[in-house]
Amino acid sequence: MKKTSLFLLALLAAPLFAMSNGAPNFGCTMCHQDAKPLSPQHIVIKGLPQYYEPGKSYRITIEVTDANECTPAMTACGGFALQANAGEFKVVDPTNTFIAHPTPTESFVTHTKEGSMKRTWTVEWVAPKERKPVTFRVAVIAANGDGSPFGDYFGMKTFVLQPAVPGVNPTVTTTQGNVITITKTVWVTVTITKTITVTLSG
């Protein structure tokens, strides 16, 4: 009986280490217990347009910008979880990302163990065919690399992406140097007035 009690006490005293193999839930703070706030400005999302085209695929890059650099001496450098309420995520970098299914009704893209040594990840999102607002949520960790659940930074960002509406939304078409050419499709009804000279005979 004493041996069992001592064994349970040892388990309770053992530290809970950070999850380097993906987020077990979307919040991240279950493992990174005393994580300090990371400003939303350090969470950068690249690759999404101002308005999405239904059914189109987009390569999305999630980047955590922070003063601390990732080094080979770290046991982990960072992590992320990305979720959307519409569309479908696809893995394009299986070494560093995978799709987690913590419950039968929930899924999100997160980092692998190898991906925890990065602060930049790329995934693919296929937009829904139905035109509707899509809400994205991204949670990130900037780890200090000591392998413990303490001393890291946690941040979260939520944003809504609207669908493109023909004839309404502007679309960036070309970028050359510092010049960005923007086109906008509009429906125009044109009335042409033309002077016609009629010669009557008889």
pLDDT tens digits for range 75-115:
888 889 999 999 999 999 999 999 998 888 888 999 999 99
Higher pLDDT, 189 or 25: 25
Indicate if the pLDDT at residue 18 is higher than 50: no
Please provide the CATH number assigned to the domain covering 34-161: 2.60.40.4060
How high is the pLDDT of residue 109? Answer: 94
Indicate if the pLDDT at residue 8 is higher than 90: no
Which helix (H) or strand (E) element contains residue 3?
A: helix 2-13
How high is the pLDDT of residue 35? Answer: 58
Q: What single letter denotes the amino acid at residue 110? A: T
Q: For residues 93 and 170, what is the distance between their CA atoms, to the nearest angstrom?
A: 31
Which residues, other chains included, contact 68 with Cβ-Cβ below 8 Å and sequence gap of 6+?
Answer: 142, 144
Angle at 123 between CA 36 and CA 129, to 5 degrees: 115
Indicate if the pLDDT at residue 25 is higher than 80: no
Higher pLDDT, 44 or 145: 44
Phi, psi of 200 (to 5 degrees): -100, 135
